Amino acid sequence: MARGARYRLAFRRRRESRTNYRRRMKLVVSGMMRLVVHGSLNNFSVQLIDSKFGGDRTLVSAHSRELIKKYGWKGHCGNIPTAYLTGFLLALKAKKTGFERAILDIGLHPPVKGSRVFAALKGALDGGMEIPHGEDVFPSEERIRGEHIAEYAKRLLEENPELYAKRFSAQIKRGVRPEELPKHFNKVREIILKEFGG
């Protein structure tokens, strides 16, 4: 380990690659609430966070598991359609509680065009929030509805039915075949809208 008068140990969250403090400082100094997007392989969460001197305060949150429990989502919880629906749900909750403006905070997610992070942003925008953004970062409407998953499933079913059954077994058990995912997506989106009076 390095030693000496000029050596300074980095903060723990920086050493663990969990927080980029320079980027975070810029977002906090902006004075706006942050739309924080977290994604793992199997889940997705979006939160509206207000930064205070005593620490961050979560004002509104939405999680992909809510889609399953409350709205009947039967797809996978870590893909682009789920990210969009989670962002959409958060925006409707935020508007109901009186929050309409925020700035996007993607943390350490790489800003890749068309990624799940930007699908969640698109969902929040469609839900009525005002968030500064560029138009060229969003996934296409087809990918947001899950048409790429449906096309892949159809092709796989024709070419290799055994691999199809293995790859989509959990989703088929939940009651929606992957070819029907776009229809199911539209149905769940309508259920969410109906609950918030849309």
Domain boundaries, the chain: 13-195
Which residue is it, tokens 């305060």?
57
Per the DSSP assignment, residues forming a β-bridge with 39 are: 44
Q: Is the pTM of this model over 0.75?
A: yes
Q: What is the pLDDT along the chain (198 residues), one digit of tens a residue?
A: 567 788 888 888 888 878 888 888 888 888 899 999 999 999 999 999 998 888 889 999 999 999 999 999 999 999 999 999 999 999 999 999 999 999 999 888 888 999 999 999 999 999 999 999 998 999 999 999 999 999 999 999 999 999 999 999 999 999 999 999 999 999 999 999 999 986
CA atoms within 13 A on the CB side of 7: 5
Residue 58's beta-bridge partner residues? 49
Rounded distance between C-alpha atoms, residue 87 and residue 37, angstroms: 9
Domain 13-195 has CATH 2.60.40.10: no
Asked whether the beta carbons of 172 and 156 are under 8 A apart, the reply is no
Instruction: Say which residue the tokens 């992909």 belong to.
Output: 64
Q: Tell me, what's the pLDDT at 132?
A: 95
